[in-house]
A and B are shown apart, each in its own frame.
Chain A
Amino acid sequence: MHELGVVIEVVKTVENFAEKNGVTKIDKIVLQIGELSSMIPKYIEACYPAAVDGTMMEETKLEIEILPGNGICKECNKVFNIIQTKGKCPICGSKDNEIISGKEFMIKEILAC
């Protein structure tokens, strides 16, 4: 499981941001995770308490938004969800496509004061 290291990176980034912006308390953090990224939301949630332990985010709630893993078909330009169709274009059946979203792993925002 490589999520712990990544969540620790998230905490570092937010702490940096908080320091620069004079934030003292964070109620909630919102992450955006693409379906095609190597991060699994369930594991992120599982290791989150360990990663925030002893930091200013100890009491901060975690919210995760999933971004769809979409691709565009190189044959017919149809945009479709790569995961649901196992990479096959639902219109023409081509497997030749380009990923346009779903690899993200972003800190979207925090609710803070």
Chain B
Amino acid sequence: MNQAEKEAYLREYSILKNEGKPFFPYAVAKDAVMAAITIGVIIYLALMFGAELGPKADPTTTTYVPRPDWYFFFLFEVLRVMKNVPMFTPMATIGVPTICMILLFLLPFYDRSPERRIERRPIALAAGLATIFAIAFLTYSGANTGSPNSVDMKPPSSFTAEQVATFNAGKLVVGQSGCLACHTIGDNGNNGPGPPLTHIGSIRSAAAIASTLRNPTPPMPSFKGLAQQYPQKFQNLVNFLSELQ
């Protein structure tokens, strides 16, 4: 906006303001209704859904799937989508959000046109809608794909139906157990400190894998607890790993 446009705006605005009504009580009345609705909704949600408390934090297990609150799903989702390209991972996490934040801060400085009606600001309209859809989509898929720990892999087509079933069941346990924090399986997970497990089935027997899981060399945590509490899950895990040929 140049000087003339600024002055024109201020002149027009002061007329519109003078035609208006006092803030109290006219605007305050609407604000009060809205405040009552807000508090009402919060109380309703609190009564309907309560607040649960999970098991106590245990730094010695890695058997927990980290889940943020829903309004951070879109950030986790960005991380999950970009993690397959290691070069992009720092970009995906702080990089992209930082850039978005700077763009948001500077909005009044690069959008300088005096036009305020949204139907006459096609670029702003498109950018606004695109942002809303992107965040909604990322939140939705973040809510559905679980954590950045899940294994994204298809069983080989040569498998029988039974093998496919154990493969999928074990894949789930791997995701829940946090193995990917230290191992890669296919394109998933961090490379190190543990060795890649992509072909572990052809290197070690199922019995050797099971005994490693029970009595590993540090820093790998022991999964003895899993074997005792959920033998079926543990069996699925071992079967899955030995299917990784």
A associates with B: no
Residues of A within 8 A of B (CB): none
Residues of B within 8 A of A (CB): none
